[in-house]
Chains A and B, each alone.
Chain A
Amino acid sequence: MPPAIEVNGVTKTFKDLRALDGASLRIETGEIYGLLGPNGAGKSTLIRTLAGLLTADSGTVKVLGHTMPDLAALDQIGYMTQQPALYPDLSVEENVRFFAALYGREDDGVQAALELVDLASRRQSIVATLSGGMRTRCSLACAVVHKPRLLVLDEPTVGIDPQLRAEIWGKLGEMAADGVTVVVSSHVMDEAERCQRLCLMRAGRILAEGTVAELKKLAGVKRLEDAFLRLSAEPAA
Chain B
Amino acid sequence: MSSRRVLAITRRLLQQFRRDRRTLAVVFVAPVVILSLLGYVLRGGGSGPKVDLVVEDSGALATAVADHVAHDWDITVSRTDLATARSDLDTNAIAGYVRLPAGFSDNALRSRVVAPEVIVQGDEPGPATTVIAAMQRATAGALTALVSGPPPRLAPTVTYRYGGPSLDTLDYFGSAFIVFIVFFLVYVITSVSFLRERTQGTLERLMASPLRRSELVLGYMIGFSVLGLAQTAVVMGWSLLVLHIHNAGSPALVFLVVAVTALVAVNLGIMLSSFARTEFQAVQFIPLVIVPQVLLAGTILPISSEPGPLQVISNVLPLTYAGYAMRDVMIRGAGLDYGPLVLALGVIAAVAVVLIIAAGATVRRAPA
Interface residues of A (CB under 8 A from B): 48, 51-55, 69, 71, 74-75, 77, 79, 81, 83-88, 99, 102-103, 142
Contacts and interface: CB of A to CB of B under 8 A. Distances in A.
B244 interface: no
Nearest to A76: B210
Given A81-B201, A88-B200, A74 B365 contact: no
Nearest to B211: A102
Give the interface residue-count category, chain B. 10 to 19
Residue among A48, A51, A75, A85 with max Cβ neighbours from chain B (10 Å): A85
A51 B208 CA distance: 6
B209 A54 contact: no
Contacts of B204: 48, 53, 81, 85
18 contacts: A51-B208, A53-B204, A53-B365, A53-B366, A53-B367, A75-B210, A77-B208, A79-B208, A79-B209, A81-B201, A81-B205, A85-B202, A85-B204, A87-B200, A87-B202, A88-B200, A99-B205, A102-B210
Given A48-B366, A69-B365, A53 B208 contact: yes
3 smallest beta-carbon distances between A and B, as pairs: A85-B201, A79-B208, A85-B205
B167 interface: no
B196 to A, nearest CB: 9
A91 B200 CA distance: 16
Given A52-B365, A53-B365, A53-B366, A83 B201 contact: yes
Contacts of A55: 366
Contacts of A77: 208
B310 interface: no
Contacts of B202: 85-87
B212 interface: yes
Given A53-B365, A53-B366, A69-B365, A74 B208 contact: yes
Residue among B205, B206, B208, B212 with max Cβ neighbours from chain A (10 Å): B208
Contacts of A79: 205, 208-209
B199 to A, nearest CB: 10
B192 to A, nearest CB: 13
A103 B208 CA distance: 11
Contacts of B212: 71
A53 B207 contact: yes
A51 B205 CA distance: 10
Nearest to A71: B210
Interface of B: 200-202, 204-212, 365-367
Contacts of A75: 210
A11 to B, nearest CB: 16
A228 B205 CA distance: 30
Nearest to A88: B200
Contacts of B201: 81, 83-85
A142 B206 CA distance: 11
Contacts of B205: 79, 81, 85, 99, 142
Nearest to A69: B365
Nearest to A146: B209
A75 B207 CA distance: 11
A9 B365 CA distance: 22
A50 B337 CA distance: 56
A95 to B, nearest CB: 9
A54 B365 CA distance: 8
B210 A103 contact: yes
B360 to A, nearest CB: 15
Nearest to A14: B368
A85 B365 CA distance: 16
A86 B201 CA distance: 7
